[in-house]
């Protein structure tokens, strides 16, 4: 038996996970920095690293930027004492961080991040990529529910309830908002299905956000809710619920929740980029200037990452701008505004496409 393909796939997967986790760690830093800057503070700027930190000007600059902070944070998570409250349900208490962490790490498998000679750069180019993504990423809410329930105390419990209710409400709007994108991406008779790669390829002339601003907006709002970000951070709501579902967690278990949350944000930004911001396509109307071969692959990946970082920045920018919605407002927005809007949007698009196909093509 030939083990080489398995080995290569394994190496690729490990690489991808490593890169995404590092991006997530630096997203935490970016969050703290942006929070600081918006509030007139500096954010983390003290953590120095031996040797690199002592390089005359560069070291000082990196330290001021807080570049070494994630390393310190990570080490702290690993070496901190891990107290386990006496009143928790041990099995589920231990299970919850894993259940939150694994889906966050799994979704990245189907996310294409670049293109090389017309082939997608992706771990698994599934036909049902989007479906897989939706299915797996919504498993993450089980982590929140389990954490909230197993902690056996009121704040995590409330956080868990809110998390599940919110997830259910916004999942619908989210699913409905991406369908128009796929309707437009799939010409009649094509067999691309729900592959994310083809959605990107169909946007080489026109980004979906220009063509489908309403879908993009609904998707964005639902994404904020699904990733539990302010203004929809109901499960965590630190001003009302202490720390929400992860109140009883400490040390690396909390770290897992934390990394999962930020991975969700990074992957969610990636999905938004793929679906509505043209993925690695250059600007709307301009053909992508990526050359063939690996140079093109690297360039397209970098361009894609740039867009993803912009979206991540937008996430943080929103977080430090808007106050949190009240729980009933969140529910009302989800059920009475976003859901009907997404439905109408889908139906209108479908009718429009049908008429368009009948009369013009």
Partner 1 sequence: MAFKILERKPLNWAERTYLPQIITGLKITLWNLFQKKVTLEYPDVRPVIPEGYRGIPTLVKDPKGREKCVSCQLCEFVCPPKAIRIQPGEIPEDADYAHVEKAPKQFDIDMLRCIYCGFCQEVCPEEAIFLQNDFSLSGYSREEMVFPKAKLYEMGGTFPDQHNKWGKKQQAAEEAKAHG
Q: Which residues bind partner 1 (CB under 8 A)?
A: 34, 36-42, 317-318, 320-322
DSSP 294: H
Q: Which residues neighbour 345 within 8 Å (Cβ) at sequence distance 6 or greater?
A: 176, 177, 180, 214, 215, 218
Dist CA 199 CA 280 (whole Å)? 11
> By the 8 A CB rule, do 99 and 106 touch?
no
When the beta carbons of 39 and 358 are compared against partner 1, the nearer one is: 39
Q: Which helix (H) or strand (E) holds 219?
A: helix 213-226
Between 205 and 321, CB nearer to partner 1:
321
Please provide the DSSP assignment of 114-161 as one string. Answer: EEETTEEE-S---TTHHHHHHHHHHHHHHHHHHHHHHT-SHHHHHHHH
Of 49 and 320, nearer to partner 1 (C-beta) is: 320
Place of tokens 């220009």: 210
Nearer to partner 1, 30 or 185 (CB): 30
Query: For residue 96, which of 28, 150, 175 has the smallest C-alpha distance?
Result: 150
Cα torsion 269, 271, 272, 273: sign: positive
For the bound state, the minimum distance from the C-beta of residue 283 to partner 1, rounded and expressed in Å, comes to 22
Nearer to partner 1, 65 or 318 (CB): 318
Closest CB 40 distance from partner 1, rounded Å: 4
Least separation in angstroms between CB 231 and partner 1:
9
In the complex, what is the shortest distance from the CB of residue 37 to partner 1, in angstroms, rounded to a whole number?
Answer: 5
CB 134 within 8 A of CB 160: no
Q: CA distances (Å), 4 to each of 8, 11, 126, in order?
A: 6, 10, 22
Residue 322 or 350: the one with the smaller Cβ distance to partner 1 is 322
Query: Smallest distance, Å, CB 117 to partner 1?
Result: 39
Burial class (CB in 10 A: 0-12, 13-18, 19+), 157: buried
Return the number of the residue (21 or 173) whose C-beta is nearest partner 1.
173
* Residue-by-residue DSSP string for 296-352: HHHHHHHHHHHHHHHHHHHHHHHHTTSPPPPHHHHHHIIIIIIHHHHHHHHHHHHHH
Whichever of 84 and 318 has its CB closer to partner 1, that residue is: 318
- Least distance from C-beta 315 to partner 1, angstroms? 12
Minimum distance of partner 1 from residue 42's CB (angstroms): 5
**Helix, coil or strand: residue 212:** coil
Question: Shortest distance, CB of residue 159 to partner 1, whole angstroms?
Answer: 25
Please report how close the Cβ of residue 101 comes to partner 1 at its closest, in angstroms: 31
Judged by CB, which is closer to partner 1: 92, or 325?
A: 325
């Amino acid at each position: 038996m030939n083990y080489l393909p398995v080995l290569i796939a394994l190496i690729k997967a490990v690489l991808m996970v490593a890169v995404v986790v590092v991006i997530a760690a630096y997203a935490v830093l970016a969050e703290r920095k942006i929070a600081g800057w918006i509030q007139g503070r500096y954010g983390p700027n003290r953590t120095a690293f031996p040797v690199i930190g002592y390089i005359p000007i560069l070291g000082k600059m990196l330290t001021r930027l807080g570049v070494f902070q994630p390393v310190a944070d990570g080490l702290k998570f690993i070496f901190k004492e891990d107290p386990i409250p006496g009143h928790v349900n041990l099995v589920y208490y231990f299970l919850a961080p894993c259940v939150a962490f694994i889906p966050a790490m799994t979704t990245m498998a189907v996310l294409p991040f670049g293109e090389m000679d017309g082939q997608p750069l992706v771990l698994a180019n599934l036909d049902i990529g989007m479906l897989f993504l939706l299915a797996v990423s919504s498993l993450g809410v089980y982590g929140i529910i389990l954490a909230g329930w197993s902690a056996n105390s009121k704040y995590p419990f409330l956080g868990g309830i809110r998390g599940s209710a919110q997830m259910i409400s916004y999942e619908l709007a989210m699913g409905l908002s991406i369908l128009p994108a796929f309707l437009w991406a799939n010409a009649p008779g094509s067999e691309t299905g729900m592959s994310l790669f083809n959605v990107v390829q169909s946007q080489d002339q026109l980004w979906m956000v220009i063509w489908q601003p309403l879908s993009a907006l609904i998707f964005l709002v639902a994404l904020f809710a699904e990733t539990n970000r302010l203004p929809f951070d109901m499960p965590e709501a630190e001003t009302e619920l202490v720390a929400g579902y992860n109140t009883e967690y400490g040390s690396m278990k909390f770290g897992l929740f934390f990394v999962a949350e930020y991975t969700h944000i990074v992957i969610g930004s990636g999905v938004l980029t793929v679906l509505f911001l043209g993925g690695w396509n250059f600007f709307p109307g301009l053909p992508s200037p990526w050359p063939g071969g690996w140079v093109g692959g690297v360039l397209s990946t970098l361009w894609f990452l740039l867009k993803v970082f912009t979206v991540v920045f937008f996430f943080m920018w929103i977080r430090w701008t808007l106050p949190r919605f009240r729980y009933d407002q969140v529910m009302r927005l989800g059920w009475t505004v976003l859901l009907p809007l997404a439905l109408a949007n889908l139906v209108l698009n479908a009718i429009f496409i049908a008429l368009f196909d009948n009369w013009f093509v």
